[in-house]
Amino acid sequence: MDLKDTSAVVTGGASGLGAATAAALAERGAQVVAIDLDAAIADAPTLERVTYAAADVTDEPQVRSAIGLASDLGPLRTVVSCAGIGPSARILGRKGVHDLALYAKVVHVNLVGTFTVLALASEAIAQTEADQHGQRGVVVNTASIAAYDGQVGQVAYASSKGGVVGMTLPAARDLAQHGIRVNTIAPGIVDTPMLATVSDEFRAGLAAGIPFPQRLARPDEYARLVTMIVEHDYLNGEVFRMDGALRMAPR
């Protein structure tokens, strides 16, 4: 799929994986609407062909508004969901049972939010004119290797990301008639702003557990995989692990 003169939506687009993806899509000629919360947008970099839109991925009217903004900039062809949260809590911890509201919130943001963006964006993409091959767009969602190798304290996060993995194939099958592909990336340990506050020693310990390359992944590597998926028209209904062959230990 050619991205030139098209539009794209990237959630979590103000930092980390989302910011790198927004920049990569813009470099290929797309007009990108980067969705994020107000606080994150305030610190976001200024990039050519990237417009920021404040929205909560679980808020239907806000998501619709951002998608409408993208559609006004050109035919919507690409949607990438990077927004998510990852608090840690055990089912039975020192303070008692897992906060049920916290569990629901993680699933609501990571899974329901991803589906909300997928569904509403697909509605807009389906209204565009198909290219000569009958395709209209591609959606790339973000899971995690925690969907497969969830660690102690990750029950909510792993549940939410497992749901993202599980929706990939049926979503691709649902949307095939509209010429929309759906794929998912399951990253391993990526050097994002969430890791910026940890010590070099801790980061080295994380890297030491990765078979090869023995380092943390970079956001631009995630973005490169996104663009490969978008531009490779035969990739559909698949989950791609990007983890350096890492299989997470229990803790």
Give yes or no: 148 in active site.
Answer: no
Indicate whether 2 belongs to any domain. no
156-180 average pLDDT score? 98
Q: How confident is the model at residue 123 (pLDDT cuts 50, 70, 90)?
A: very high
Indicate whether 251 belongs to any domain. no
Provide the CATH number for the domain around residue 117.
Answer: 3.40.50.720
Indicate whether 250 belongs to any domain. no
- In the structure, how many helices (H) and strands (E) does the chain have? 9, 9
53-82 average pLDDT score? 98
146-175 average pLDDT score? 97
Distances (CA, A) of 50 to 5, 10, 139, 152, 236: 13, 10, 18, 38, 26
pTM of the model: 0.95
Could you tell me which residues are beta bridge partners of residue 9?
33, 79
Indicate whether 170 belongs to any domain. yes
Domain range spanning residue 71?
7-241
Question: What is the per-residue pLDDT for 9?
Answer: 98
Write down the mean pLDDT value for the chain.
95
- CB proximity list for 32: less than 8 A, separation 6 or greater: 7, 8, 9, 10, 13, 22, 25, 26, 47, 49, 50, 51, 70
- CB proximity list for 248: less than 8 A, separation 6 or greater: 145, 146, 149, 150, 151
Indicate whether 58 belongs to any domain. yes
Question: What is the per-residue pLDDT for 6?
Answer: 97
Q: Which of 166, 121, 162, 112 is nearest to 139 (CA)?
A: 121
Question: What is the per-residue pLDDT for 197?
Answer: 64
Residue 209, classified by CB atoms within 10 Å of its CB into exposed (0-12), middle (13-18) or buried (19+), is: middle
Question: What is the per-residue pLDDT for 199?
Answer: 73
Split into its structural domains, the chain has a count of 1
Bond preceding residue 170 cis, omega within 30 of 0: no
Indicate whether 232 belongs to any domain. yes
Catalytic residue, from 52, 103, 148, 157: name it: 157
Helix axes 155-175, 113-125, angle to 10 degrees: 20
Q: Which of 54, 156, 59 is nearest to 101 (CA)?
A: 156
Question: What is the per-residue pLDDT for 64?
Answer: 98
pLDDT 10s digits, 198-246: 677 877 888 899 999 999 999 999 999 999 999 999 999 999 999 999 9
Tracing tokens 């890492």 back to the chain, one arrives at 246
State what percent of residues in the chain have pLDDT above 90. 90
Q: Which two tokens stand for residue 136?
A: 């209209």
Indicate whether 247 belongs to any domain. no
State what percent of residues in the chain have pLDDT above 70. 98
